[in-house]
Amino acid sequence: MTDAVSELYSDTYAIAQDAADPLRDMRSQFLIPQHVGADQAYFVGNSLGLQPRGARAHVEEVLDKWAHEAVEGHFTGQAQWMPYHELVRESLARLVGAKPLEVVAMNTLTANLHFMMVSFYRPTRERPAILVEAGAFPSDRYAVESQIRFHGFDPATDLIEVQPDRDDGTTSMEAIERAIATHGARLALVLWPGVQYRTGQAFDLPRIVKIAHAHGAVCGFDLAHAVGNLELALHDSGVDFAVWCHYKYVNSGPGAVAGCFVHERHAHSDRPRFAGWWGHEQNTRFRMGPHFVPTPGAEGWQLSNPPILGMAPLRASLELFDAAGMPALRAKSLRLTGYLEALIRERLDGTLQIVTPADPAQRGCQLSLRVIGGRGLTGRDAGRALFDDLATRGVLGDWREPDVIRISPTPLYNTHADVLRFVRAVEAWRDG
Ligand SMILES: *Cc1c(COP(=O)(O)O)cnc(C)c1O
């Protein structure tokens, strides 16, 4: 064991792993930020993914088209703006395991969450409640709370938060099951994350859908930290809707246009929705009639003609996901994060505590790390000190209050050498 681990802790090993990586050429498709003349070890794809080299060309294509064709750009030449969202539809469907009819790129994440709740959160006096995780991402919590109030109900009784039940702050399937069973008759909606943003815990999504539906609730997912990270099978999961952003693991730039899934069974839904002209049936949209007829599927929830400049980098990014394929990316991700975990256990035992579940099926690429000691510091002080020190060494993670450093080796552009560099940087801080 000791021999095997010391082998892991060597440049030779890391370099050999990277050389044997079938996805090794993907990294050169990205612009890696520099730190004193060398590549950063960038582990913040969970927050803002790196820029694909192809993004600039797609953005410039739009700018050029605008310059030369102006309004005609909507209907002429390559990558016409009118059906521009269709250019990403098939790739997006592959990325999340959906049918093309079930996905659309539009708006931003929190906006899509609201628009989905307009249709899929239909509280009644008997069933007014929304069940979420305790410690949900603030925007999600604000959104559900404000929806409950908007319908005249009271978050104090109708927002049900499932508390983490394990010592490490993660939540067992049993706790979720118990909460849904306890409140089942009052639940209008179960909203759950694919991957918890602070702990990195990944959930058994089909099972959550099954339990929610068995108790008569609608089910939705926020996949902000799951999309481009895990292999998803949204159609088969049976979930009613899902929302996500594209600036994290999907590398489409700050504030990128977001994604939305509506299950095929709702493709012709007559549920209430907030409508806009871009959701109108395509063939008759420009007759400009007064009556809204929705386009079947997720596209029927569009409001506006989309921001073409904002959508352009998403095309570049999805080309890379198509080239690599999620199964290969996940396979590499398991190796890379497994390598990080093994090195932390071997080299940083008294320094870092891994919060994220050890079971690879219960996590994506991210490990959330609590700093338990080093340099005579403890708790939050140790965490902040290490975090700041890493940045001066060109090793970028991110900090989540109150005491977690998130390190997310992404399979598109991170390497085993990056991971080794992180571990050595922590050792240098601790021993320095
Ligand atoms: C990143 C993230 C958001 C951010 O919302 P925006 O509307 O894109 O600003 C919301 N919810 C979760 C769970 C996130 O991880």
Q: Which domains does the chain have, with CATH numbers?
A: 3-31+325-431 (3.90.1150.10), 59-323 (3.40.640.10)
Q: 9-18, 98-107, 277-286, 327-336: which range is least confident on average? A: 277-286
Cα 19 to middle of ligand 1, angstroms: 35
Minimal CA–CA distance to 116: which of 307, 292, 299, 260?
A: 260
Q: 349 CA to middle of ligand 1, Å?
A: 32
Determine the Cα–Cα distance for residues 184 and 174; give it in Å rounded to an integer.
Answer: 15
Residues belonging to the binding site are: 109-110, 137-140, 222, 225, 247, 277, 305
**Cα-to-centroid distance, 161 and ligand 1 (Å):** 18
175-198 pLDDT, tens digit per residue, is: 999 999 999 999 999 999 999 999
Mean pLDDT on 275-293? 88
pLDDT at 28 over 90: yes
Q: Which tens digit of pLDDT belongs to each residue from 356-374?
A: 999 999 999 999 999 998 8
Q: Taking 90 as the threshold, does the pLDDT of residue 141 lie above it?
A: yes
pLDDT of residue 375: 86
Quote the pLDDT of residue 288: 80
Cis amide prior to 402 (ω within 30 degrees):
yes
Radius of gyration of the chain (CA): 23
Residue 335 backbone phi and psi in degrees, to 5: -65, -45
Distance in Å, CA 48 to ligand 1 centroid: 11
Distance of alpha carbon 195 from alpha carbon 199, whole angstroms: 8
| C-alpha 220 to ligand 1 mean position (Å) | 15
Residues at the binding site for pyridoxal 5'-phosphate are: 109-110, 137-140, 222, 225, 247, 277, 305
CA distance 138 to 395: 27
- Per mean pLDDT, which range of 22-31, 41-50, 225-234, 286-295 is the poorest? 286-295
151-172 pLDDT tens trace = 999 999 999 999 999 998 999 9
pLDDT, position 373: 85
| Per-residue pLDDT at 1 | 44
At 265, list the tokens. 């069974």
The DSSP call for residue 295 is P
- pLDDT band at 401; cut points 50, 70, 90: confident
Tally of CB atoms within 10 A around 225: 29
Task: Give the model's confidence band at 3: pLDDT under 50 very low, under 70 low, under 90 confident, else very high.
Answer: low
Strands 259-262, 103-105: pairing kind: antiparallel
Under 8 Å between Cβ of 219 and 189: yes
pLDDT digits (tens, 9 = 90+) for 78-135: 899 999 999 999 999 999 999 999 999 999 999 999 999 999 999 999 999 999 999 9
Q: In a 3-state reduction of DSSP, which class is residue 381?
A: helix
The protein residue whose alpha carbon is closest to atom 14 in ligand 1 is 224
Listed residue (183, 189, 184) closest to 117, CA to CA: 189
| Residue 352 C-alpha from the chain's centroid | 25
**3-state SS string for 159-219:** EEEECCCCCCCCCCHHHHHHHHHHHHHHEEEEEEECECCCCCEECCHHHHHHHHHHCCCEE
> Closest Cα partner for 307 from 345, 351, 256, 350?
256
Residues touching ligand 1 (Cβ under 6 Å) are 108-110, 137, 139-140, 193, 197, 222, 224-225, 245
316-327: burial string, b at 16+ Cβ within 10 Å, e else: bbbbbbeebebe
What tokens appear for 263 in the block?
């299950």
Alpha carbon distances (Å) from 114 to 119, 135, 152: 9, 19, 16
d(CA 57, CA 65): 12
Confidence of residue 402 (pLDDT cuts 50, 70, 90): confident
Count the helices and strands in the chain (H runs, E runs). 14, 17
Question: Over the chain, what is the mean pLDDT?
Answer: 95
Q: What is the pTM of this model?
A: 0.96
